[in-house]
Amino acid sequence: MAISSPLEAFLNGSERVFWGYLLVSAIIALVWYVRQGNTLSWVQLKRYWWSLDARLDYRYFLVNWLIKTLLILPVLLSGQTVALWTLSALNAVADPLFLPWYYRDIVLLYTLSLFVLEDLSRYALHRWMHSNPWLWKIHQVHHSAEALNPLTFYRLHPLENILFALRHAVVAGMVTGVFIFCFGARVNLYTVLGGNLFIVSLFAFTGNLRHSHIRLGYGRWLERVLISPAQHQVHHQRRHMRHNFGSALAIWDGLFGTLKVSIEAPDDRSFGLGDGKRRHFDSVRKLLMQPFFSIYSSIRRTLK
Amino acid sequence: MKAFTGLSLMLLLGAPALSQAAEQDPYAVIYDTVIQANANNAVTYCGDLKQALDNPSSEQRHQAFAQLTEGWGRVQASYILGAYDMDAMDYPLMVDYFHMGKEDIHESLGRIMKGDLAASKALYKNSYKTLGALDDVMFSGPWTERRKEMAEVISSNVCKRLTQVRDGYQEHRADFLDDHDKALSLLINAEIENIYKTRDWRIAQISGLTKATLGQPKPEHQQYPYSKASWGFIGAILETNKQLLADDQQPNVATIVYAKHGEEGMAAVQEALTASWVAYQGAPAEHNYNTGDMIPLFQGLLDLQKAFYRQLVGSIGVTATLIDADGD
């Protein structure tokens, strides 16, 4: 994502950790926590926000931002390029349609299409990161956290950043190309705070609780439609890593047999990789290098 | 009190500047000086044509017809009324039926011409009452009373529709100015659509530059084959695009795009438009849509369409508007 300084992630409404979403998440978390009969103390807050994992996430967030900005973004395929390719390919086989739909209907459909197809592709790639042994070595970086906080979202290996950015470029570019082919220039997004209307309204305000210890569930019925923070925490539990790959929508997990509603999983906070594997991921250097060592070791084993 | 006086003075001095700034709002300028002005002119030209039907000079009648078709070309190049009024989506088809339907209008009009049924009844189909039909009736043969009678019916219909367009724009000015994103999208869409249609329908298909017609010009298929006013229509489309895009005609779409930091894309669009205009003006007077003569204009319009798409795709900013391009 194109951010010019790490601070901008907190100021930009199209970022997960935008201050407004963090604030709403904090209020929800506080209400939820107090209603559970707990009391809040400085010691508890310090223990949570200054844990080993939290401090590692803060450092990694800065380093990963630097890598993304300096190394990945300049060479990455953009959604705009894919949109032009798509448009050229469609124009080569058929005449542009210029369908006479109303502007508001086109914008609504475009916004919805991007939301749904982005979400589906995120589900698919996330699931692949778990099922493919090579990709899993990369995605392990994210699952190495044994304590979750909002910045754990950014604990991703740069190779995973590249894969997700390419996915985004392909999906957003193709959808945009198809829409321009069908409707000409009348393509736009309904946005709130700079983000896709549907993502902001259905996801952004609780998105930061996904990586936290606030086990906020949506109830058995709604969790079949929307992924709750609790369901994502279930995904981070060692025994349920093959469940709840979805981002905003739970329907993909439901359709493809990977859904686990939060009430069916114990709240044991057994996050991380277990078996003492955390020691392979307990510094910024190790987070960056471990996947390469792991892949190298696998190749050596395969060749022997 | 001192502060109040100072503030009052500033407001007083600032008032003319503010008023000028309001007048220079590019959306308002585009609406008033391009969209509305072109619709007003088209209605005037239509009235002129109706008067010219009484003129014995064929040259005067031809001039009036050419003026009307060019006026209509300017309206069509930026036609956006259909987005504000559903009925208005069909007005262009009621003015000009070019490239629609498979009926041989020339044959049908020929039959009507030979008959003695009143023109107002005989010309019952919409396609018989459009500019294409008027071109046929006025210029496909010697001028007669029967042709004049038919031309009067057709021109009345065309004038009625153009008046609806003009009035529709007067009614929807506030709607256009209320939603700038929508207004800009509609304008650019109208430009892209008409650039595409001009390149494909009015140039490529006529001059043998499509896969199906390669190297085989068919000038008889041009928009107004009898008056040969089609070439002027193409010029009107290009001129309207210049009005909307050229730097020296600001405030216009270029002004808006510059405010959105789209200088690079706009430069590509302007360059392709200039090349198209140069190719249009450089075509030999007697080109008659010869394949070779039309290639520069065809290429210019193709480049213009591509540049528009690049500018458009860049302005949508698909990469910046979604939360979480990353994984989870």
Question: B219 and chain A: CB distance < 8 Å anywhere?
Answer: no
| Strand-pair partners of A249 | A226
Whether residue A63 contacts residue A6, with contact meaning beta carbons closer than 8 Å, is answered with: no
- Return d(Cα B81, Cα A20) in angstroms, integer: 40
Could you give the percent of chain B with pLDDT greater than 70? 89
Complete DSSP assignment for B84-130: T-GGGGGHHHHH--TT--S--HHHHHHHHHHS-S-HHHH--SGGGGS
Please state the domain count of chain A: 1
Residue of B nearest to A174 (CA): B318
Higher pLDDT among residues A95 and A260, named by residue: A260
Rounded to an integer, the average pLDDT of A188-196 is 82
Rounded to an integer, the average pLDDT of A132-138 is 97
- pLDDT value at position A125? 97
Complete DSSP assignment for B18-59: HHHHHHT-HHHHHIIIIIIHHHHHHHHHHHHHHHHTT-S-HH
Min Cα–Cα distance to chain A from B191, Å: 9
Nearest residue, CB atoms, B319 vs list A2, A187, A247: A2
A-chain residues within 8 Å CB-CB of B326?
A: 1, 16, 153-154, 156, 160-161, 164-165
- Return d(Cα B34, Cα B46) in angstroms, integer: 18
User: The tokens 């509603």 sit on which residue?
Assistant: A261
- pLDDT value at position A42? 92
Higher pLDDT among residues A194 and B154, named by residue: B154
Q: Residue A74 sits in which domain range?
A: 13-303
Confidence of residue A203 (pLDDT cuts 50, 70, 90): confident
Confidence of residue B291 (pLDDT cuts 50, 70, 90): very high
Confidence of residue B260 (pLDDT cuts 50, 70, 90): confident
Positive or negative: CA dihedral B180, B182, B186, B192: positive
Nearest residue, CB atoms, B83 vs list A16, A102, A204: A102
Higher pLDDT among residues A77 and A273, named by residue: A273
Q: What tens digit of pLDDT does each residue of B83-98 get?
A: 999 899 899 999 999 9
Nearest residue, CB atoms, B89 vs list A87, A100, A172: A100
A-chain residues within 8 Å CB-CB of B181?
A: 188
Secondary-structure class of domain B25-315 per CATH? mainly alpha
Confidence of residue B326 (pLDDT cuts 50, 70, 90): low
Whether residue A273 contacts residue A140, with contact meaning beta carbons closer than 8 Å, is answered with: yes
Q: What is the ipTM of this complex?
A: 0.75
Q: What tens digit of pLDDT does each residue of B183-212 get?
A: 998 999 999 999 999 999 999 999 999 888
- pLDDT value at position B318? 53
Rounded to an integer, the average pLDDT of B53-65 is 97
Rounded to an integer, the average pLDDT of A247-268 is 96
Complete DSSP assignment for B184-252: HHHHHHHHHHHHHHIIIIIIIHHHT-STTTTT---GGGSSSTTTTTHHHHHHHHHHHHHHHH-GGG-SS
Chain A, 148 to 187: residues with Cβ < 8 Å from chain B are 153-154, 156, 160-161, 163-165, 168-169, 172-173, 175-177, 180, 183-187
Confidence of residue B103 (pLDDT cuts 50, 70, 90): confident
Confidence of residue A71 (pLDDT cuts 50, 70, 90): confident
Q: Do A1 and B319 touch (CB under 8 A)?
A: yes
Positive or negative: CA dihedral B297, B298, B302, B305: positive
Q: Do B328 and A129 touch (CB under 8 A)?
A: no
Between helices A284-303 and A133-143, what is the axis angle to 10°? 160
B-chain residues within 8 Å CB-CB of A247?
A: 324, 328
- The chain-wide mean pLDDT, for chain A, equals 92
Min Cα–Cα distance to chain A from B20, Å: 30
Q: What are the residues whose beta carbons fall under 8 Å from the beta carbon of B153, sequence distance 6 or more?
A: B119, B120, B123, B129
Min Cα–Cα distance to chain B from A120, Å: 12
- pLDDT value at position B327? 64
Q: Is the pLDDT of residue B11 over 50?
A: no
B-chain residues within 8 Å CB-CB of A83?
A: 313, 316, 318
Residue A8 lies in a domain: no
Q: What tens digit of pLDDT does each residue of A27-50 get?
A: 999 999 999 898 889 999 999 999
Rounded to an integer, the average pLDDT of A77-92 is 89
Nearest residue, CB atoms, A232 vs list B316, B321, B328: B328
Rounded to an integer, the average pLDDT of B151-161 is 98
B-chain residues within 8 Å CB-CB of A126?
A: 327-328
Question: A137 and chain B: CB distance < 8 Å anywhere?
Answer: no
Could you give the percent of chain A with pLDDT greater than 90? 70
Min Cα–Cα distance to chain A from B108, Å: 29
Instruction: Report domain extents, chain B.
Output: 25-315
- pLDDT value at position B310? 83
Residue of B nearest to A92 (CA): B211
Rounded to an integer, the average pLDDT of A137-164 is 94
Q: Is the pLDDT of residue A2 over 50?
A: no
State the amino acid at position B249 in one-letter form: Q
Q: What tens digit of pLDDT does each residue of B213-230 get?
A: 888 999 999 999 999 999
Question: A195 and chain B: CB distance < 8 Å anywhere?
Answer: yes
Question: B321 and chain A: CB distance < 8 Å anywhere?
Answer: yes
B-chain residues within 8 Å CB-CB of A175?
A: 318
Count interface pairs A-B at CB distance under 8 A.
134
Q: What tens digit of pLDDT does each residue of A219-249 get?
A: 999 999 999 999 999 999 999 999 999 999 9
